[in-house]
Chain A
């Protein structure tokens, strides 16, 4: 089944403890992206990647890192999480830049205490 998977789905952590949220897609998509969803704000893009080793900042990149070493994987790294990063995170992929339509993973709910 064609899909975008994220792990973990739920995570509670403490301030300053490094964490990684994994994202993987099995559709051979070139483009991948991370969004965060907050009540009343909708979804906002954190980072995106147009292909392996090519990443760029979205609208809210502060406090996050990403890497794209393989086409199928696009992990989101929080090196020193803070409570304002408590949010619902979505990974998305698209066949290629310019295709415009994005396919979303199930989401990861992160709580930072």
Chain B
């Protein structure tokens, strides 16, 4: 069955430091992968997506993610974190035929000054 694992429940990063959030997926074919961000009290905003092609994808707000098929991973990165990046981040994989997104349980990012 398809699944997504986000191993880190909570991460704290200093402002200006780099960030990497981990995501591992289980899927039999080429996955369609997403990262969403949820700021406190807000809905989910799409940061970036991978469908095919270049395995390094760029998103909004300076985020990028790298698809590694051999590791079944789609880790999210940002070179320099800002206090406004504090939020909950969800990795997701699309079910076959796009009937649903399967989400990981999320990683909460705190940013310290």
- A and B co-occur in one complex: yes
Are A97's CB and B97's CB within 8 A?
Answer: yes
Chain A residues whose CB sits within 8 angstroms of the CB of B98 once the complex forms: 31, 94, 97-100
Are A33's CB and B44's CB within 8 A?
Answer: no
Residue B74 interfacial (CB < 8 Å)? no
Smallest distance from the beta carbon of B100 to chain A beta carbons, Å?
4
Chain A residues whose CB sits within 8 angstroms of the CB of B42 once the complex forms: 106-107
Smallest distance from the beta carbon of B91 to chain A beta carbons, Å?
9
Residues of A within 8 Å of B, CB-based: how many? 29
- 9 additional A-B pairs beyond A40-B105, A104-B45, beta carbons within 8 Å, are A42-B103, A43-B92, A94-B98, A97-B98, A100-B51, A100-B101, A101-B49, A103-B46, A107-B43
CB-nearest residue of chain A to B9: A40
Chain A residues whose CB sits within 8 angstroms of the CB of B43 once the complex forms: 4, 90, 104-107
Chain B residues whose CB sits within 8 angstroms of the CB of A103 once the complex forms: 46
Chain B residues whose CB sits within 8 angstroms of the CB of A106 once the complex forms: 42-43
Chain A residues whose CB sits within 8 angstroms of the CB of B49 once the complex forms: 100-101
